[in-house]
């Protein structure tokens, strides 16, 4: 992924609506460069070549009035059929992966960046977690996550369930994490947890060898 200073990469995982972006923002306050895989996914859908292939497969009905891909319309198709979801992933994942690697390389060249945070809902499922030195699981009770998703995105329980089916069970995710942050409390409580995490002696900037997958 290029040359530059050795830099620690932390991956964020958790249930849908757990508030990974809040944790990422808190880590950014401590000097992290945050890479959001979902934002790269948005960019992928705006690439002319990818956009045309998606329209060829699913028709112009997946576009909005301006001709751009309507993510809600596309999601209604792919989250209803695993075969269609795999087809979408085959189109957008290579773009996302290149974007992740490019941003990590850029962070290595920037002396102002102390570490990188990779916020990706499917970090483990895609293998993107291999780029990470540490993996942090963000825990939020299910009821709280559902309330948050209903309020912020208008998603109901059935929609959350459909999307969750494309991810590993939370019981599997938490066992593969190095640390857990509880995001069920106040912003101040979250901030204190992040400070304790970063101050811990085990949170070394160099937890792996120079020949690790994150190098």
Task: List, as one string, the DSSP characters of 97-143.
Answer: HHHHHHHHHHHHH-TT--EEEEE-TTHHHHTGGGG-SEEEEEE--HH
Arch. (CATH architecture) of 8-199: 3-Layer(aba) Sandwich (3.40)
Give residue limits of the domains in the chain: 8-199
- Which pLDDT value is given to residue 155? 67
- Which pLDDT value is given to residue 211? 30
Per DSSP, 211 falls in state T
Structure-model confidence comparison of residues 172 and 43, the more confident one: 43
Residues 11, 130: contact at Cβ < 8 Å?
Answer: no
Q: Mean pLDDT in the chain?
A: 86
As beta bridge partners, residue 179 has 136
Residue 88, both tokens? 């979408």
| Cα three-residue angle 61-55-165, rounded to 5 degrees | 80
Give 179-188 pLDDT, tens digit per residue: 999 998 899 9
Asked if the model's pLDDT at residue 206 lies above 90, the reply is no
Structure-model confidence comparison of residues 211 and 189, the more confident one: 189
Structure-model confidence comparison of residues 103 and 166, the more confident one: 103
Give 55-78 pLDDT, tens digit per residue: 999 999 999 999 999 999 999 999
Structure-model confidence comparison of residues 205 and 142, the more confident one: 142
For residue 58, the tally of other CB atoms under 10 A from its CB is: 18
Give 105-137 pLDDT, tens digit per residue: 999 899 889 899 999 989 999 999 999 999 999
- Which pLDDT value is given to residue 153? 74
């Amino acid at each position: 992924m290029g040359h530059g200073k050795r830099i620690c990469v932390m991956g964020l995982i958790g249930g849908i609506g757990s508030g990974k972006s809040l944790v990422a923002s808190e880590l950014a306050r401590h000097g992290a460069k945050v890479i959001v895989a979902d934002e790269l996914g948005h960019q992928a859908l705006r690439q002319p070549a990818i956009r045309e292939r998606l329209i060829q497969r699913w028709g112009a009905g997946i576009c909005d009035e301006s001709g751009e891909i309507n993510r809600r319309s596309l999601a209604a198709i792919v989250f209803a059929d695993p075969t269609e979801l795999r087809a979408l992933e085959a189109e957008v994942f290579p773009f996302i992966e290149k974007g992740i690697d490019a941003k990590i390389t850029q962070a290595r060249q920037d002396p102002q960046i102390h570490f990188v945070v990779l916020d990706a809902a499917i970090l483990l499922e895609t293998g993107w977690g291999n780029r990470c030195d540490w993996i942090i699981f963000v825990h939020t009770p299910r009821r709280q996550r559902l309330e948050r998703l209903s309020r912020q995105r208008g998603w109901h329980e059935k929609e959350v369930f459909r999307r969750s089916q494309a991810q590993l069970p939370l019981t599997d995710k938490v066992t593969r994490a190095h640390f857990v942050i509880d995001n069920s409390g106040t912003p101040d409580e979250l901030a204190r947890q992040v400070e304790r995490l970063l101050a811990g002696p085990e949170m070394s900037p160099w937890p792996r060898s120079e020949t690790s997958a994150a190098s």
